[in-house]
Structure 1
Amino acid sequence: MRVYLLYGGKSAEHEISLSTAFQITQAIYYQYYSVIPVYITKTGDWLQGQTLNEPVKFVDNLRLREADEKRQATNNHENSTGIKFLPNGFDPEDSVVFPVLHGPNGEDGTVQGLLETLNIPYVGNSVLASAVGNDKIMSKLLFKQAGIPVVPFQAIDAQSWENNTASVIARCEGELLYPMYVKPSNLGSGIGVTQVNNSVELQYAIDNAFELGPRVIVERGIVAREIEIGLLGNEEIATSVPGEILSFDDVYDRKLAMKEDHEARIPVELDEELLAKIVSFSKTAFAVIDGSGLARCDFFISANQDIYLNEITTMPGFYKNAMYPRLWEAVGLSYSDLIEELLQLALKKNQANNSK
């Protein structure tokens, strides 16, 4: 079976995606699969590399410079079609796409919609789940409606911010307490997250966040533990053991997200009632967005045991030492076996959709 590994992308999470793709090429079962790398450059070009039947040696090999040179050379000739993504004759019976893209134009339902239209089996969540899960504002609104507690927040659109900045700041200060956290609504991995302690910092942080996305969310800061749990499955959803992030300062930032040795307690011992609530909220959140395949739910637990769902990530960091694979490794599911399970879930979902 051929696995088209789709990675890179135009978002700020390009390098995280590249790291994930590299580690998948190290761990996939080559006795069952051949891997075809499909690299989306930072400028949006789609490049298809040579078929892999063994691990690549360096992450930079996946930047497909040779394929890019060929593309540019062919584009200089008349009637050239360049390098195509999926060749003619792509067979859903023996091919599957594994997209490890993060953020806009990758994790937000756009690529998923393309693959759905072409009836191509792919790993991960469908269009709706991807779109909702990638938008912190929409997901929190749905979670609140479903009775899942979330940290108090304010949603800010660009027009309101541009036309009445003072009113928006007054609304945030009237509804929330400092410190506040300002985030682009549609980015993950801690990118663009800023802690603010006064109105001057708040305005500056919101301005910066709008440079990274069309909508911004401002949340009340709370003192809490960060507990994460993994979900896996289509109709029947399994949950991993919980883990606790330990090594972060004020913001769980991109540098931490990319570190392979960041401190975490896996599994973390939790009160049975607290754990049951986290598992229940996780499965409810996954059902609310119509999730399938995989997700990671991140919770805040306050000192008095109040639970807040911070976010659901429909394509969590998937490099080997990221939290999601480590949570499953603690259950006994190795990184290679986790990849295998996700590929099989993708094929089963496609078959089920085609039988309707």
Structure 2
Amino acid sequence: MVETALVKVGILFGGKSVEHEVSLLSAKNVMDALDSDRFELVPIFVDKAGRWLLVDSLDFLLGGAAAESDGVAISPGLLVSFVPGGKGRLVHLSDMASSTFVDVVFPVLHGSCGEDGSIQGLLKLAGVPCVGSEIIGSAIGMDKDVSKRLLREAGIPVAPFYAFRRGDAIDCRKVLEELGLPVFVKPASLGSSVGVAKAEDASELQAAIDAAFKFDTKVLVEKFVEGREIECAVLGNGNPVTSVVGEISSSHDFYSYEAKYIDKKAAKLTVPANIDPTMTDRVRALSLQSFHVLCCTGMARVDFFLSKDGSLLVNEINTIPGFTSMSMYPLMWQASGLAYRELITQLIELAMQRFALNEELKTSV
């Protein structure tokens, strides 16, 4: 009997991002859930300087025992780089004659240089399948300004907002006259509530904008929506499906970074959400519509605000949702009957199927 070779899965984690630590927590769960009967794990750590290193595990990183170089924590691993057109070949930079090959890459990277299309473009050039959305869906989903404008154009309701670039003249009083009080200020292209602040007056708004510009070159000022935070998970390529709907309630002023990842008592996760069947259907339908409008593939988590008057607004879409123990994406799928391990398996299979279809496209006339 001929044994089937294991599929080599490169788990890409860490990253040059303020969400680096969240990525480590997510990656640990994904690695632990990988089906060892089908897949061979190839951990690839991206440190905060942007260096890629092959490592044995991430346990020492989670334990805070990493060495430092130029003030940046790195691992005792092999420096590597993908070769353009190399079909998954990772060259060992210390010995250019040596290589490691992967069949597919699962980027568990949050934030810039991870879920914004940059890694997805690199992997496309390298000729290796990539879990999750491709370049365009990743780039659109990461930019809250662009994604909200596309959703609005498609008739999908979003909260009123302004977007400002660094250097723009901003009349805070005029913004507040238009949007009302309070408002939320967000870096346009970050997740995990990093840099998000609530402003109650013009001086607080200016301070929040200044703080957000430390993380991004574009920021959003968004009308406050009083309501419940509802979420739905999407899985698939051409014919995606949705999970049961979940709800997050926080004891903090809003669902902050601390509430998501540090204070485990701050957030209450309710899966399935206590909403009526009609609203559940509406959430799931809008999730699929948003997924398609924003050119997503593979996976996404769609976040909503459900107002007291019953109106539903899309807050944002996340193309590489968290996979930590407190993350809603895997929890909603578990509640839908899809176990964590099978979810990871399906995501890998979807990436390989999509890659195979793309390989059939003509490249000459």
Aligned partner letter, 1:219: E
Q: Which residue of 2 aligns with 1:48?
A: 54
Work out whether 1:276 is the aligned partner of 2:288.
no
Among 207, 210, 219, the alignment partner of 1:207 is 210
- TM-score scaled by length of structure 2: 0.86
Deviation for aligned residue 1:248: 3.9
Alignment of 1:7-156 (within 5 A): 7-50=13-56, 60=62, 68-69=75-76, 81-82=93-94, 88=99, 90=101, 95-156=103-164
Among 348, 354, 358, the alignment partner of 1:353 is 358
Determine helix, strand or coil for the equivalent of 1:241: strand
- Quick one: structure 1 residues 62 and 71, their matched pair in 2 at CA, closer, same or farther if it must change by over 3 Å? farther
Determine helix, strand or coil for the equivalent of 1:263: strand
Deviation for aligned residue 1:34: 1.3
Work out whether residues 37 and 62 of structure 1, in 8 Å CA contact, stay in contact via their aligned partners in 2: no
- CA deviations 1:301-341 (Å, max 9, x no partner) are 11010110000100111124311100000011111111111
Aligned partner letter, 2:101: F
- CA deviations 1:100-124 (Å, max 9, x no partner) are 0011110100000000112210110
Deviation for aligned residue 1:208: 0.4
- Quick one: structure 1 residues 63 and 307, their matched pair in 2 at CA, closer, same or farther if it must change by over 3 Å? farther
Work out whether 1:344 is the aligned partner of 2:360.
no
Determine helix, strand or coil for the equivalent of 1:298: strand
- Quick one: structure 1 residues 105 and 252, their matched pair in 2 at CA, closer, same or farther if it must change by over 3 Å? same
* Residues in 2 aligned to 1:157 and 1:81: alpha-carbon distance in whole angstroms: 38
- Quick one: structure 1 residues 70 and 30, their matched pair in 2 at CA, closer, same or farther if it must change by over 3 Å? closer
Instruction: Supply the RMSD in Å over aligned alpha carbons.
Output: 2.3
* Residues in 2 aligned to 1:258 and 1:68: alpha-carbon distance in whole angstroms: 23
Determine helix, strand or coil for the equivalent of 2:149: helix
Aligned partner letter, 1:235: G
* Residues in 2 aligned to 1:128 and 1:31: alpha-carbon distance in whole angstroms: 33
Greater per-residue helix proportion: 1
Deviation for aligned residue 1:253: 0.9
Aligned partner letter, 1:123: V
Work out whether residues 185 and 221 of structure 2, in 8 Å CA contact, stay in contact via their aligned partners in 1: yes
Work out whether 1:266 is the aligned partner of 2:271.
yes
- CA deviations 1:248-293 (Å, max 9, x no partner) are 4222111121155631111013223222221121111110111110
Deviation for aligned residue 1:4: 0.5
* Residues in 2 aligned to 1:178 and 1:97: alpha-carbon distance in whole angstroms: 44
Work out whether residues 47 and 83 of structure 1, in 8 Å CA contact, stay in contact via their aligned partners in 2: no
Aligned partner letter, 2:239: E
Deviation for aligned residue 1:246: 1.6
- Quick one: structure 1 residues 344 and 71, their matched pair in 2 at CA, closer, same or farther if it must change by over 3 Å? closer
* Residues in 1 aligned to 2:230 and 2:44: alpha-carbon distance in whole angstroms: 34
Determine helix, strand or coil for the equivalent of 2:228: strand
- Quick one: structure 1 residues 83 and 47, their matched pair in 2 at CA, closer, same or farther if it must change by over 3 Å? farther
